[in-house]
Protein backbone atom coordinates (compact mmCIF):
# COMPACT_ATOMS: atom_id res chain seq x y z
CA UNK A 1 0.00 0.00 0.00
CA UNK A 2 1.10 3.51 -0.83
CA UNK A 3 1.36 4.97 2.65
CA UNK A 4 2.70 1.89 4.41
CA UNK A 5 6.14 2.77 5.67
CA UNK A 6 8.85 0.22 6.27
CA UNK A 7 11.79 -0.04 8.63
CA UNK A 8 15.46 -0.09 7.74
CA UNK A 9 16.91 -3.41 8.89
CA UNK A 10 20.23 -4.72 7.76
CA UNK A 11 20.21 -2.43 4.73
CA UNK A 12 16.72 -3.47 3.56
CA UNK A 13 13.39 -1.71 3.97
CA UNK A 14 11.20 -4.30 5.60
CA UNK A 15 7.44 -4.56 6.12
CA UNK A 16 5.82 -5.45 9.41
CA UNK A 17 6.37 -9.17 9.85
CA UNK A 18 3.25 -9.63 11.93
CA UNK A 19 1.07 -7.33 9.83
CA UNK A 20 0.49 -4.94 12.72
CA UNK A 21 0.72 -1.22 12.06
CA UNK A 22 0.42 2.10 13.86
CA UNK A 23 -1.53 4.75 12.00
CA UNK A 24 0.13 8.15 11.99
CA UNK A 25 -2.34 11.02 11.69
CA UNK A 26 -1.77 14.73 11.32
CA UNK A 27 -2.42 16.66 14.53
CA UNK A 28 -3.67 19.48 12.29
CA UNK A 29 -6.71 17.77 10.84
CA UNK A 30 -6.49 14.06 11.68
CA UNK A 31 -5.75 13.04 8.09
CA UNK A 32 -3.92 9.75 7.85
CA UNK A 33 -0.31 10.32 6.80
CA UNK A 34 0.95 6.80 6.88
CA UNK A 35 1.20 3.52 8.70
CA UNK A 36 4.33 2.20 10.34
CA UNK A 37 5.06 -1.31 11.58
CA UNK A 38 4.24 -1.91 15.25
CA UNK A 39 7.30 -4.05 15.71
CA UNK A 40 7.33 -7.07 17.97
CA UNK A 41 10.02 -7.99 20.50
CA UNK A 42 11.42 -10.54 18.04
CA UNK A 43 11.80 -7.84 15.42
CA UNK A 44 13.57 -5.65 17.97
CA UNK A 45 15.94 -8.56 18.66
CA UNK A 46 16.72 -8.81 14.97
CA UNK A 47 17.42 -5.09 14.66
CA UNK A 48 19.82 -5.14 17.60
CA UNK A 49 21.58 -8.34 16.48
CA UNK A 50 22.08 -6.88 13.04
CA UNK A 51 23.48 -3.69 14.54
CA UNK A 52 25.82 -5.65 16.76
CA UNK A 53 27.29 -7.59 13.84
CA UNK A 54 27.59 -4.62 11.53
CA UNK A 55 29.37 -2.50 14.15
CA UNK A 56 32.32 -4.87 14.12
CA UNK A 57 33.14 -3.80 10.56
CA UNK A 58 32.00 -0.21 10.89
CA UNK A 59 34.39 0.52 13.73
CA UNK A 60 37.26 -0.26 11.37
CA UNK A 61 36.09 1.97 8.52
CA UNK A 62 38.49 4.89 8.33
CA UNK A 63 37.48 8.15 9.95
CA UNK A 64 37.83 9.86 6.60
CA UNK A 65 35.46 7.41 4.92
CA UNK A 66 32.92 7.77 7.73
CA UNK A 67 33.09 11.54 7.31
CA UNK A 68 32.58 11.24 3.53
CA UNK A 69 29.40 9.25 4.13
CA UNK A 70 28.16 11.91 6.52
CA UNK A 71 28.89 14.70 4.00
CA UNK A 72 26.89 12.77 1.41
CA UNK A 73 24.05 12.26 3.89
CA UNK A 74 23.90 16.03 4.45
CA UNK A 75 23.71 16.65 0.70
CA UNK A 76 21.00 14.04 0.20
CA UNK A 77 19.00 15.46 3.08
CA UNK A 78 19.07 18.88 1.42
CA UNK A 79 17.97 17.31 -1.86
CA UNK A 80 14.87 16.07 -0.02
CA UNK A 81 14.39 19.31 1.87
CA UNK A 82 11.09 20.30 0.33
CA UNK A 83 9.48 16.87 0.47
CA UNK A 84 10.65 16.25 4.01
CA UNK A 85 9.69 19.68 5.31
CA UNK A 86 6.20 19.35 3.83
CA UNK A 87 5.79 15.98 5.54
CA UNK A 88 7.04 17.52 8.78
CA UNK A 89 4.49 20.36 8.64
CA UNK A 90 1.74 17.74 8.49
CA UNK A 91 3.20 15.20 10.88
CA UNK A 92 4.06 17.45 13.81
CA UNK A 93 2.11 20.61 13.00
CA UNK A 94 5.14 22.86 12.83
CA UNK A 95 5.18 25.99 10.70
CA UNK A 96 6.71 25.55 7.26
CA UNK A 97 9.55 28.01 7.74
CA UNK A 98 10.75 26.22 10.87
CA UNK A 99 10.49 22.85 9.14
CA UNK A 100 12.69 24.06 6.29
CA UNK A 101 15.19 25.52 8.70
CA UNK A 102 15.20 22.30 10.75
CA UNK A 103 16.28 20.34 7.68
CA UNK A 104 18.98 22.91 6.84
CA UNK A 105 20.21 23.02 10.43
CA UNK A 106 20.40 19.23 10.41
CA UNK A 107 22.49 19.15 7.22
CA UNK A 108 24.84 21.68 8.86
CA UNK A 109 24.91 19.54 11.99
CA UNK A 110 25.86 16.41 10.08
CA UNK A 111 28.63 18.20 8.17
CA UNK A 112 30.03 19.79 11.30
CA UNK A 113 29.99 16.37 12.98
CA UNK A 114 32.08 14.94 10.15
CA UNK A 115 34.52 17.87 10.41
CA UNK A 116 34.76 17.50 14.17
CA UNK A 117 35.18 13.73 14.04
CA UNK A 118 38.10 14.16 11.67
CA UNK A 119 39.74 16.55 14.07
CA UNK A 120 39.47 14.57 17.24
CA UNK A 121 42.87 13.30 18.21
CA UNK A 122 44.08 11.32 21.16
CA UNK A 123 46.89 12.22 23.50
CA UNK A 124 50.02 10.77 24.97
CA UNK A 125 50.68 11.30 28.65
CA UNK A 126 54.18 11.02 30.09
CA UNK A 127 54.42 8.85 33.21
CA UNK A 128 56.96 10.98 35.02
CA UNK A 129 54.59 13.80 35.95
CA UNK A 130 53.09 11.74 38.78
CA UNK A 131 55.21 11.40 41.92
CA UNK A 132 57.45 8.37 41.63
CA UNK A 133 56.70 7.97 37.90
CA UNK A 134 59.37 7.47 35.27
CA UNK A 135 59.80 8.84 31.80
CA UNK A 136 60.00 5.37 30.27
CA UNK A 137 56.26 4.97 30.75
CA UNK A 138 53.89 6.65 28.30
CA UNK A 139 50.12 6.37 28.11
CA UNK A 140 48.67 6.55 24.61
CA UNK A 141 45.00 7.48 24.76
CA UNK A 142 42.73 7.00 21.78
CA UNK A 143 38.95 6.87 21.60
CA UNK A 144 36.97 3.85 20.69
CA UNK A 145 33.27 3.25 20.08
CA UNK A 146 30.85 1.87 22.65
CA UNK A 147 29.00 -0.56 20.38
CA UNK A 148 25.28 -0.30 19.64
CA UNK A 149 23.71 3.06 20.40
CA UNK A 150 19.97 3.22 20.98
CA UNK A 151 18.79 6.65 19.81
CA UNK A 152 15.30 7.63 20.96
CA UNK A 153 14.10 10.87 19.41
CA UNK A 154 11.10 13.05 20.33
CA UNK A 155 8.26 14.43 18.23
CA UNK A 156 9.25 18.08 18.30
CA UNK A 157 12.44 17.92 16.20
CA UNK A 158 11.89 14.63 14.38
CA UNK A 159 14.77 15.18 11.98
CA UNK A 160 17.21 17.24 13.99
CA UNK A 161 17.02 15.41 17.30
CA UNK A 162 17.32 12.07 15.50
CA UNK A 163 20.31 13.21 13.43
CA UNK A 164 22.01 14.79 16.44
CA UNK A 165 22.21 11.28 17.90
CA UNK A 166 22.85 9.30 14.71
CA UNK A 167 25.63 11.43 13.21
CA UNK A 168 27.93 11.67 16.28
CA UNK A 169 27.15 8.04 17.11
CA UNK A 170 28.23 6.90 13.65
CA UNK A 171 31.24 9.17 13.58
CA UNK A 172 32.42 7.62 16.84
CA UNK A 173 32.22 4.18 15.21
CA UNK A 174 29.00 2.89 16.75
CA UNK A 175 26.08 1.30 15.00
CA UNK A 176 22.69 2.78 15.67
CA UNK A 177 19.19 1.60 16.39
CA UNK A 178 16.85 4.55 15.97
CA UNK A 179 13.51 4.40 17.79
CA UNK A 180 11.68 7.60 16.94
CA UNK A 181 8.60 8.76 18.86
CA UNK A 182 5.57 7.52 16.93
CA UNK A 183 4.45 11.06 16.11
CA UNK A 184 7.36 12.22 13.97
CA UNK A 185 8.52 8.75 12.99
CA UNK A 186 7.70 9.23 9.32
CA UNK A 187 10.22 12.08 9.26
CA UNK A 188 12.67 9.92 11.21
CA UNK A 189 12.41 7.14 8.64
CA UNK A 190 12.98 9.66 5.89
CA UNK A 191 16.17 10.77 7.61
CA UNK A 192 17.32 7.16 7.87
CA UNK A 193 16.82 6.88 4.12
CA UNK A 194 19.20 9.80 3.56
CA UNK A 195 21.90 8.07 5.63
CA UNK A 196 21.31 4.79 3.85
CA UNK A 197 21.52 6.38 0.40
CA UNK A 198 24.70 8.13 1.47
CA UNK A 199 26.35 4.74 1.91
CA UNK A 200 25.97 3.82 5.58
CA UNK A 201 26.61 0.07 5.31
CA UNK A 202 23.86 -2.49 5.88
CA UNK A 203 23.09 -2.99 9.56
CA UNK A 204 24.99 0.07 10.77
CA UNK A 205 21.77 2.08 11.01
CA UNK A 206 18.49 0.34 11.75
CA UNK A 207 15.10 1.75 12.62
CA UNK A 208 12.50 0.48 15.03
CA UNK A 209 8.93 1.72 15.12
CA UNK A 210 6.38 0.49 17.56
CA UNK A 211 4.36 1.15 20.66
CA UNK A 212 6.28 2.29 23.68
CA UNK A 213 3.90 0.24 25.82
CA UNK A 214 4.91 -2.95 23.99
CA UNK A 215 8.57 -2.59 23.13
CA UNK A 216 9.73 0.47 25.12
CA UNK A 217 10.99 -1.31 28.22
CA UNK A 218 12.13 -4.27 26.15
CA UNK A 219 14.41 -2.26 23.88
CA UNK A 220 15.85 -0.04 26.62
CA UNK A 221 16.77 -3.01 28.80
CA UNK A 222 17.98 -5.18 25.91
CA UNK A 223 21.37 -6.75 26.55
CA UNK A 224 22.57 -5.83 23.08
CA UNK A 225 22.31 -2.09 23.74
CA UNK A 226 25.54 -0.43 24.87
CA UNK A 227 24.41 3.19 25.18
CA UNK A 228 21.13 5.09 25.23
CA UNK A 229 20.72 8.61 23.94
CA UNK A 230 17.21 9.79 24.73
CA UNK A 231 15.40 13.09 24.29
CA UNK A 232 11.92 13.36 25.71
CA UNK A 233 9.98 13.87 28.90
CA UNK A 234 11.49 13.67 32.38
CA UNK A 235 8.87 11.07 33.24
CA UNK A 236 10.04 8.67 30.53
CA UNK A 237 13.71 9.52 31.09
CA UNK A 238 13.45 8.77 34.80
CA UNK A 239 11.69 5.52 33.98
CA UNK A 240 14.45 4.48 31.56
CA UNK A 241 17.08 5.29 34.12
CA UNK A 242 15.25 3.26 36.77
CA UNK A 243 14.99 0.10 34.68
CA UNK A 244 18.43 0.09 33.04
CA UNK A 245 21.61 -1.09 34.64
CA UNK A 246 25.28 -0.55 33.76
CA UNK A 247 24.40 1.15 30.46
CA UNK A 248 25.59 4.74 30.07
CA UNK A 249 22.81 7.23 29.45
CA UNK A 250 22.73 10.56 27.67
CA UNK A 251 19.42 12.25 28.21
CA UNK A 252 17.86 15.57 27.48
CA UNK A 253 14.59 15.90 29.35
CA UNK A 254 12.12 18.54 30.48
CA UNK A 255 12.77 22.09 31.56
CA UNK A 256 11.22 25.08 33.23
CA UNK A 257 13.64 27.67 31.86
CA UNK A 258 13.38 31.01 33.62
CA UNK A 259 13.86 34.41 32.04
CA UNK A 260 15.18 36.52 34.90
CA UNK A 261 14.65 40.20 34.28
CA UNK A 262 16.60 42.68 36.42
CA UNK A 263 15.90 46.37 36.96
CA UNK A 264 18.63 47.42 34.52
CA UNK A 265 17.52 45.20 31.60
CA UNK A 266 16.97 46.48 28.08
CA UNK A 267 13.24 45.82 28.22
CA UNK A 268 12.59 45.98 24.49
CA UNK A 269 15.22 43.32 23.84
CA UNK A 270 13.95 41.31 26.81
CA UNK A 271 10.35 41.36 25.63
CA UNK A 272 11.29 40.26 22.09
CA UNK A 273 13.34 37.39 23.46
CA UNK A 274 10.64 36.30 25.88
CA UNK A 275 7.98 36.23 23.19
CA UNK A 276 10.15 34.41 20.66
CA UNK A 277 11.54 32.07 23.32
CA UNK A 278 8.23 31.32 24.97
CA UNK A 279 5.79 30.99 22.14
CA UNK A 280 7.54 29.73 19.01
CA UNK A 281 6.18 26.35 17.93
CA UNK A 282 3.56 27.00 20.61
CA UNK A 283 6.13 26.49 23.35
CA UNK A 284 6.73 22.84 22.42
CA UNK A 285 10.49 23.05 22.95
CA UNK A 286 12.43 21.78 25.92
CA UNK A 287 14.37 25.05 25.91
CA UNK A 288 11.36 27.34 25.61
CA UNK A 289 11.18 30.19 28.12
CA UNK A 290 8.72 28.75 30.63
CA UNK A 291 8.55 31.36 33.38
CA UNK A 292 9.36 35.03 33.76
CA UNK A 293 10.93 36.13 37.03
CA UNK A 294 10.92 39.90 36.91
CA UNK A 295 11.87 42.38 39.59
CA UNK A 296 8.81 44.27 40.75
CA UNK A 297 10.32 47.65 39.84
CA UNK A 298 10.19 47.00 36.08
CA UNK A 299 7.41 44.41 35.88
CA UNK A 300 4.71 46.79 34.60
CA UNK A 301 7.03 48.27 31.98
CA UNK A 302 8.02 44.80 30.81
CA UNK A 303 4.38 43.78 30.46
CA UNK A 304 3.70 46.92 28.39
CA UNK A 305 6.44 45.81 26.00
CA UNK A 306 5.32 42.16 25.85
CA UNK A 307 1.60 42.65 25.20
CA UNK A 308 1.83 44.33 21.75
CA UNK A 309 4.17 41.54 20.65
CA UNK A 310 1.67 38.91 21.72
CA UNK A 311 -0.99 40.67 19.69
CA UNK A 312 1.21 40.36 16.63
CA UNK A 313 1.60 36.59 16.97
CA UNK A 314 -0.29 34.75 14.27
CA UNK A 315 -2.13 31.53 14.92
CA UNK A 316 -3.90 28.86 12.95
CA UNK A 317 -3.30 26.07 10.51
CA UNK A 318 0.36 25.81 9.46
CA UNK A 319 -0.70 24.27 6.16
CA UNK A 320 -2.30 27.56 5.10
CA UNK A 321 0.46 29.97 6.09
CA UNK A 322 3.40 30.41 8.43
CA UNK A 323 1.93 30.94 11.87
CA UNK A 324 3.58 31.31 15.24
CA UNK A 325 0.96 29.44 17.19
CA UNK A 326 -0.01 26.03 15.85
CA UNK A 327 -2.32 23.28 17.09
CA UNK A 328 -0.55 21.26 19.79
CA UNK A 329 0.71 17.76 19.06
CA UNK A 330 -2.27 15.99 20.67
CA UNK A 331 -5.53 16.53 22.48
CA UNK A 332 -3.95 15.18 25.65
CA UNK A 333 -1.20 17.78 25.39
CA UNK A 334 -3.75 20.57 24.91
CA UNK A 335 -5.89 19.27 27.80
CA UNK A 336 -2.86 19.36 30.09
CA UNK A 337 -2.04 22.96 29.17
CA UNK A 338 -5.64 23.94 29.84
CA UNK A 339 -5.50 22.28 33.26
CA UNK A 340 -2.56 24.51 34.17
CA UNK A 341 -4.39 27.58 32.85
CA UNK A 342 -7.51 26.69 34.86
CA UNK A 343 -5.47 26.12 38.02
CA UNK A 344 -3.75 29.50 37.69
CA UNK A 345 -7.08 31.28 37.11
CA UNK A 346 -8.71 29.55 40.03
CA UNK A 347 -5.90 30.45 42.39
CA UNK A 348 -6.09 34.12 41.46
CA UNK A 349 -3.45 34.73 38.77
CA UNK A 350 -4.24 37.71 36.56
CA UNK A 351 -4.87 36.69 32.96
CA UNK A 352 -3.20 39.33 30.78
CA UNK A 353 -3.62 37.70 27.40
CA UNK A 354 -5.21 34.70 25.69
CA UNK A 355 -6.47 31.79 27.72
CA UNK A 356 -8.84 30.34 25.12
CA UNK A 357 -8.75 27.16 23.15
CA UNK A 358 -10.22 25.97 19.87
CA UNK A 359 -9.59 22.29 19.41
CA UNK A 360 -5.89 21.79 20.06
CA UNK A 361 -5.07 25.38 19.18
CA UNK A 362 -4.42 27.37 22.34
CA UNK A 363 -4.04 31.14 22.28
CA UNK A 364 -0.72 32.56 23.39
CA UNK A 365 -1.43 33.02 27.08
CA UNK A 366 0.24 35.22 29.66
CA UNK A 367 -0.49 35.41 33.38
CA UNK A 368 0.68 38.01 35.85
CA UNK A 369 0.91 37.63 39.64
CA UNK A 370 1.55 33.93 39.48
CA UNK A 371 2.45 32.62 42.90
CA UNK A 372 4.33 29.58 44.08
CA UNK A 373 1.19 27.69 45.07
CA UNK A 374 0.14 27.52 41.43
CA UNK A 375 1.06 24.59 39.19
CA UNK A 376 2.09 26.99 36.44
CA UNK A 377 4.96 28.20 38.62
CA UNK A 378 6.58 24.75 38.52
CA UNK A 379 5.14 22.46 35.87
CA UNK A 380 6.22 22.39 32.26
CA UNK A 381 3.23 23.07 30.01
CA UNK A 382 4.89 22.32 26.64
CA UNK A 383 2.35 24.79 25.31
CA UNK A 384 1.97 28.53 24.70
CA UNK A 385 1.48 29.74 28.25
CA UNK A 386 3.83 31.80 30.37
CA UNK A 387 3.61 32.85 34.03
CA UNK A 388 5.00 36.11 35.34
CA UNK A 389 6.27 35.78 38.88
CA UNK A 390 7.20 39.11 40.43
CA UNK A 391 10.24 39.14 42.69
CA UNK A 392 11.77 41.83 44.89
CA UNK A 393 15.37 41.42 43.73
CA UNK A 394 17.91 39.22 41.98
CA UNK A 395 18.42 37.01 45.02
CA UNK A 396 14.76 36.12 45.20
CA UNK A 397 14.83 35.39 41.45
CA UNK A 398 17.80 33.06 41.89
CA UNK A 399 16.12 31.32 44.82
CA UNK A 400 12.91 30.68 42.89
CA UNK A 401 14.79 29.68 39.76
CA UNK A 402 16.73 27.08 41.72
CA UNK A 403 13.71 25.74 43.56
CA UNK A 404 12.56 24.12 40.33
CA UNK A 405 13.10 20.39 39.96
CA UNK A 406 14.46 21.21 36.48
CA UNK A 407 17.83 22.66 35.50
CA UNK A 408 18.10 22.98 31.75
CA UNK A 409 18.79 26.64 30.95
CA UNK A 410 18.01 30.13 32.23
CA UNK A 411 18.21 33.56 30.72
CA UNK A 412 19.23 36.68 32.59
CA UNK A 413 18.48 40.10 31.19
CA UNK A 414 20.62 42.92 32.56
CA UNK A 415 22.98 45.55 31.20
CA UNK A 416 25.32 45.18 34.12
CA UNK A 417 28.02 42.56 33.60
CA UNK A 418 28.54 42.11 37.32
CA UNK A 419 24.85 41.36 37.85
CA UNK A 420 24.92 38.98 34.88
CA UNK A 421 27.76 36.96 36.38
CA UNK A 422 26.34 37.18 39.90
CA UNK A 423 23.14 35.54 38.73
CA UNK A 424 24.72 33.15 36.20
CA UNK A 425 27.15 31.76 38.74
CA UNK A 426 24.40 30.89 41.18
CA UNK A 427 21.93 29.22 38.82
CA UNK A 428 21.72 25.43 38.90
CA UNK A 429 21.33 24.86 35.18
CA UNK A 430 23.38 23.60 32.25
CA UNK A 431 23.52 26.95 30.43
CA UNK A 432 22.79 30.56 31.29
CA UNK A 433 22.05 32.89 28.42
CA UNK A 434 22.91 36.51 29.10
CA UNK A 435 20.57 38.86 27.21
CA UNK A 436 19.16 36.17 24.96
CA UNK A 437 16.34 33.66 25.04
CA UNK A 438 17.10 30.14 26.18
CA UNK A 439 17.99 27.89 23.25
CA UNK A 440 20.17 24.92 22.32
CA UNK A 441 22.08 26.27 19.34
CA UNK A 442 24.63 26.89 17.97
CA UNK A 443 24.81 23.12 17.91
CA UNK A 444 28.53 22.79 18.64
CA UNK A 445 28.08 24.39 22.06
CA UNK A 446 27.73 21.97 24.97
CA UNK A 447 24.08 21.30 25.72
CA UNK A 448 23.05 19.73 28.98
CA UNK A 449 20.49 19.72 31.70
CA UNK A 450 21.10 19.20 35.39
CA UNK A 451 18.71 17.86 38.05
CA UNK A 452 15.55 16.49 36.37
CA UNK A 453 16.55 17.99 33.01
CA UNK A 454 19.05 15.38 31.98
CA UNK A 455 22.19 13.33 32.25
CA UNK A 456 25.39 13.84 30.29
CA UNK A 457 26.35 16.46 27.74
CA UNK A 458 25.39 16.80 24.09
CA UNK A 459 26.69 19.17 21.43
CA UNK A 460 28.68 17.94 18.47
CA UNK A 461 32.09 17.24 19.99
CA UNK A 462 30.53 16.44 23.37
CA UNK A 463 28.16 13.94 21.78
CA UNK A 464 31.00 12.19 19.95
CA UNK A 465 32.90 12.01 23.23
CA UNK A 466 29.84 10.74 25.10
CA UNK A 467 29.40 7.98 22.55
CA UNK A 468 32.99 6.80 22.73
CA UNK A 469 35.42 5.95 25.50
CA UNK A 470 39.12 6.36 26.02
CA UNK A 471 41.22 3.31 25.17
CA UNK A 472 44.54 3.39 26.92
CA UNK A 473 47.70 1.62 25.83
CA UNK A 474 50.68 2.07 28.11
CA UNK A 475 54.14 1.71 26.60
CA UNK A 476 56.89 0.70 29.01
CA UNK A 477 60.30 1.25 27.53
CA UNK A 478 63.30 -0.48 28.96
Interface with ligand G3H (CB under 6 A)? 156-157, 252, 285-287, 439-441
Q: How far is the CB of 99 from ligand G3H (least distance, A)?
A: 13
Active site residue 465: no
Q: How far is the CB of 1 from ligand G3H (least distance, A)?
A: 33
Q: Closest Cα partner for 22 from 10, 39, 7, 46?
A: 39
H/E element holding 200? none
Q: How far is the CB of 420 from ligand G3H (least distance, A)?
A: 20
Name the catalytic one among 91, 286, 379, 465. Answer: 286
Q: How far is the CB of 73 from ligand G3H (least distance, A)?
A: 20
Write phi, then psi, for 204 (nearest 5 degrees).
Answer: -75, -30
Q: How far is the CB of 14 from ligand G3H (least distance, A)?
A: 30
Name the residue nearer to ligand G3H (CB basis): 50 or 160. Answer: 160
Phi/psi-derived region of residue 101, left when phi > 0, alpha when psi is between -120 and 50, beta in every other case: alpha
Angle 150-154-159 from CA coordinates, rounded to 5°: 85
- How far from chain centre, in Å, is Cα 12? 28
Name the catalytic one among 43, 91, 252, 439. Answer: 252
Name the residue nearer to ligand G3H (CB basis): 253 or 370. Answer: 253
Name the residue nearer to ligand G3H (CB basis): 9 or 287. Answer: 287
CB 263 within 8 A of CB 242: no
Name the residue nearer to ligand G3H (CB basis): 419 or 466. Answer: 466
Please tell me the distance from the alpha carbon of residue 138 to that of residue 296, in angstroms, as a whole number: 60
Name the residue nearer to ligand G3H (CB basis): 195 or 382. Answer: 382
Please tell me the distance from the alpha carbon of residue 110 to that of residue 82, in angstroms, as a whole number: 18
> Residue 36: how many CA atoms within 13 Å on its side-chain side?
23
Q: How far is the CB of 249 from ligand G3H (least distance, A)?
A: 16
Q: How far is the CB of 219 from ligand G3H (least distance, A)?
A: 22
Name the residue nearer to ligand G3H (CB basis): 67 or 185. Answer: 185
- Exposure letters 352-375 (e unless 16+ CB within 10 A, then b): bbbbebeebbbbbbbbbbbeeebb
Write phi, then psi, for 373 (nearest 5 degrees).
Answer: -90, -5
Name the residue nearer to ligand G3H (CB basis): 43 or 252. Answer: 252
- How far from chain centre, in Å, is Cα 404? 20
Integer CA distances (angstroms), 413 to 283, 410, 421, 435, in order: 20, 10, 11, 5
Please tell me the distance from the alpha carbon of residue 469 to that of residue 472, in angstroms, as a whole number: 10
Q: Which strands make up the sheet holding 205-207, listed edge to edge?
A: 205-207, 175-180, 148-153, 227-231, 249-252, 454-455
CB 190 within 8 A of CB 135: no
Active site residue 49: no
**Residues 6+ away with beta carbon under 8 Å from 37:** 5, 6, 7, 14, 15, 16, 17, 20, 21, 22, 43, 209, 210
Which residues are known to be catalytic? 252, 286
Amino acid sequence: EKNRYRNLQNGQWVESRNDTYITIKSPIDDTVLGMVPAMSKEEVDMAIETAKKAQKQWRNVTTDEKAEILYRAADILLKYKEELAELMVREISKDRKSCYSEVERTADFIRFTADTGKNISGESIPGDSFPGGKNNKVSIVRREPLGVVLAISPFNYPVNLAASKIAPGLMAGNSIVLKPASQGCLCGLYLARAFQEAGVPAGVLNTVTGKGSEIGDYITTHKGIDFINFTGSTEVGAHISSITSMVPLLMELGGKDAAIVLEDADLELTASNIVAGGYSYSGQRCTAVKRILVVEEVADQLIEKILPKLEKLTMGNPLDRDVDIVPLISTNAADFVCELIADAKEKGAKLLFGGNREGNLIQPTLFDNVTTDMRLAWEEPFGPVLPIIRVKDKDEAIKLANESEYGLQSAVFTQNINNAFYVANKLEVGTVQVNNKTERGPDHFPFLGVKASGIGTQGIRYSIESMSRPKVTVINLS
